[in-house]
Amino acid sequence: MARVRRTKTVCTYCGVGCSFDIWSKGRTILKVEPSMEAPANQISTCVKGKFGWDFVNSPERLTQPLLRRDGRFVPVSWEEALAFTASRLRKLRAQYGPDAIGYISSSKCTNEENYLMQKFARAVMGTNNIDNCSRYCQTPATEGLRRTMGYGGDTGSIHDIAQADLVVVIGANPAESHPVLSTRIRRAHKLHGQKLLVADLRKHDLAARADLWLRPRPGTDLVWLCAVTRYLLEQGWVDERFLAERTTGLAELRASLAPYTLAYAEQVTGLSRRDLLRTAEMIHAAKRMCVLWAMGVTQHRGGSETSTAICNLLLVTGHVGRPGTGAYPLRGHNNVQGAGDMGCAPLYLPGYERVDDPAVRAKYERAWGVPLPENPGLDNHLMVEAIHAGKLKGLYIMGEEMALVDSNANHVQAAFRKLDLLIVQDVFFSKTAQFADVVLPACPSLEKDGTFTNTERRIQRLYKVFDPFGESRPDWQILCDLARQLGADWRYQHPSDIMAEIASLAELYRGVRYDRLEGYRSLQWPVAENGIDTPLLYTERFPFPDGRARLCPVTWQPPQAFAAEYDVHVNNGRMLEHFHEGNLTYRVPGIAAKVPQPYVEVSPELAAERGFADGAKVRLVSPFGEVELRATVTDRVQGNQVYLPMNTWRDHEAVNYLTSSECDEVTHTPAYKEVAVRLEVVEPSGPSPVVHGNFRLGHPHPQRGVEVERKWQRPDYRPLVDEPPQV
């Protein structure tokens, strides 16, 4: 008889890193119970963390490896799938060289699994063509932090955000994307007099609560940030001692700010001089300031520059290295920080040590016993272009839905059709899996041990709640099995063995051990060998040779231009109840039945101008694709700006059929927020939208039923690929 068990885990959704106990009996989850011991969330959870776990028992789970044969997928044994995969990888490497294959790691997988994925690419297959989904969102923020302060992570903790006198939120919607963190801001604002300044296109929860809400034109945040920074310097409203003792580059920064007058900022951003001055006054009055930002900043062609401008503002005002201050790029996925920490990037080994540094490379060569490639590899944006150019022949994707999540989805899917080999390792048969030659069934977080690293650099353990579903396997075991097929002597018996190796090599993780992470204990990197961690960075020095931060001049990159017919700007982001594209949450019946299908928010003035009502069906057409959705008329958006959530269970409604291949010039992060469309009315009226919580969210979709036949087992199933690669 099954017994009731209580197991501690860490949430698999956003980057806040909530931890809690899962009470289970057999494979049934009885309740999710947060604890005051939980370092990031204490007794708080959001709707996804509390109720979003039924996907682990979904009948749509992958339970056996699949091989494509004659255009159809056939279940096979693990032995056959691994032998096939190893054989094809070996053949491609021999025929085209190691750099003809790319590897995509996962922000949903553990630190240990991400470490093995980059080690597989480098030590087993001989290439630095490794990346992860931080390229889609947070790499520009990491770049801005690394340029100016040294480390690519939040400078403090969620506790510091709650302690601040002023919180500035730019291009982020924590109430829906990071709900538990937003409760800390709302509580401090309401009960403790914290001031709140929000800069965003859309009237979301925090914007409605803010003491000052700035609504700049799309893509112009850098301009007002630089204008305010210049004004603060001119008024002497800066920390002169901090600038003199702890920074370099002030003269160069002053010179670079010359064009950014308040008048210029008014002209470019559409903000009033009054609001710009009030912004400067609020910053001047604050003894402790934190700045939070996310994809509204980073997903532009100038995302790295704007992130750098934020860091410059914090440095000139001295709001770094003290409690209640600092820079906080809000990581979107549960382990996107960890995937970067583990070296899942073409330029960096674990701990952000560069692959082109001979001393670093020599350290890893001694540990791994093989020579390593010295030239930086391709990131995921460049991999897609290399496929189209005929240079990349194979791709191994672990736990990422690239076919829908990458920008310009039609372009990406066309690339997948050209591959000689596509390996997909995932929990569900995703859109990406439809293009695969082999599909390997993996386990979600509740079915394995490991660690995640949250947005505040906090490393936490998760423990296995259930045995693997069907014949699925944890990602680390799949990677070990495949590496052995290819001749590597990988003998890890448990994720703790992998972490021990990580700690022996990556300086930031030097003192991380599983016994130091027991239960609800956690560590924030850098962690010294004796186990002492660093909740607050830069209290004494910055990790540059001279110990000083760098003030870096920046240049505004205007948003990409579109033809006049594309006169409606599309903003996009998350919905509280769903996560990202919805591969997990749309398989939770309790959430899927109550939360509406994709919709587009349209302003009352735009709806009136185009002659349609609430509930109308509209078509959005960009130069790259089109989608059709129901419209919700709301004052949360204004003028010719619309808002389209990225969550969808019907792939033809996905926002990335509208987005382009334009990207940040430094990091190649796609410019997801630079989208313009032509709006066409398909049906001028429709059913009345439902009201969900405090928001009107569109129209309910039918419950997706739990008795779902696996699509690849139907005799008439054909994957959505025009010309499947020959196997």
CATH code of the domain covering residue 48: 2.20.25.90
Specify the pLDDT at position 196. 98
Instruction: Indicate the pLDDT class of residue 1, thresholds 50, 70 and 90.
Output: low
Residues 158, 246 share a domain: yes
H helix count then E strand count, the chain:
24, 30
What pLDDT, on the 0 to 100 scale, is given for residue 710? 40
Mean pLDDT of all residues in 611-637: 95
Within-domain flag for 338: no
Contact 197, 358 (CB under 8 A): no
At residue 464's C-alpha, the angle toward residues 463 and 465, to 5°, is 110
Look at 167-171, 556-560, 693-697 and tell me which has the smallest mean pLDDT.
693-697
CATH number for the domain that contains residue 666: 2.40.40.20
Q: Does residue 308 form part of some domain? A: yes
* pLDDT tens-digit series, residues 243-259: 999 999 999 999 999 99
- Domain membership of residue 132 (yes or no) is no
pLDDT at residue 716 tops 70: no
Looking at the structure, do residues 185 and 112 belong to the same domain, yes or no?
no
Please state the rounded mean pLDDT for residues 619-636.
95
473 exposure class (CB count in 10 Å sphere: 0-12, 13-18, 19+): buried
Residues 167 and 316 in one domain: yes
Q: Does residue 578 lie within any of the structural domains?
A: yes
Q: What is the mean pLDDT of residues 521-541?
A: 98
Query: What is the number of alpha carbons within 13 Å of residue 598 lying toward its C-beta?
Result: 26
Give the model's confidence band at 590: pLDDT under 50 very low, under 70 low, under 90 confident, else very high. confident
In this predicted structure, the answer to whether residue 42 has a pLDDT above a threshold of 80 is yes
Residue 721 has a pLDDT of: 39
pLDDT of residue 576: 87
Position 585 scores a pLDDT of 87
Say if residue 639's pLDDT is above 90. yes
How many domains does the chain divide into? 4
Which of residues 57, 78, 95 is at a domain's end?
A: 57
Give per-residue pLDDT as tens, 660-701. 999 999 999 999 999 999 999 999 987 755 433 333 333 333
Asked, for residue 208, whether it belongs to a domain, the answer is: yes
Q: How many CB atoms lie within 10 A of CB 69?
A: 12
Residues in a beta bridge with 28? 25
Question: Is residue 375 domain-resident?
Answer: yes
486 and 358 together in one domain: yes
Residue 509 and residue 397 share a domain: yes
Q: How many CA atoms lie within 13 A of 669 on its CB side?
A: 30
Mean pLDDT (the chain) is 92
Q: Give the end of a domain, one of 35, 57, 79.
A: 57
3-state secondary structure of 213: strand
CA distance 570 to 655: 9
pLDDT at position 686: 77
The mean per-residue pLDDT over the stretch 10-28 comes to 96
What pLDDT shows up at residue 662?
95
8 A C-beta contact, residue 76 and residue 438: no
Question: In the predicted model, what is the mean pLDDT of residues 579-595?
Answer: 82
pLDDT of 123 strictly over 50? yes
Pair of tokens at residue 628:
């059709």
Q: Are 580 and 617 found together in one domain?
A: yes
Residues 498 and 595 in one domain: no
Residues 320, 231 within the same domain? yes
221 and 120 in a single domain? The answer is no
491 Cβ contact partners less than 8 Å away, ≥ 6 residues apart: none
Q: Are 302 and 398 in a shared domain?
A: no
d(CA 116, CA 596): 38
88 vs 73: CA distance, rounded Å: 17
For residue 523, being part of any structural domain is answered with no
Residue 42's domain comprises: 4-57
Neighbouring C-alpha atoms within 13 Å toward the C-beta of 511:
14
The CATH number that applies at residue 291 is 3.40.228.10
Same domain (yes/no): 351, 448: yes
Residues 570/677, Cβ–Cβ less than 8 Å: yes
Q: Are residues 149 and 90 in the same domain?
A: no
Q: What stretches of 36-138 show up as alpha helix (H) in DSSP?
A: 47-51, 78-96, 111-119
**What radius of gyration do the chain's Cα atoms show?**
25
727 pLDDT more than 80: no
Q: Does residue 47 fall inside a structural domain? A: yes
pTM over 0.85: yes
CATH number of 490's domain: 3.40.50.740
In the predicted structure, residue 57 carries a pLDDT above the cut 60: yes
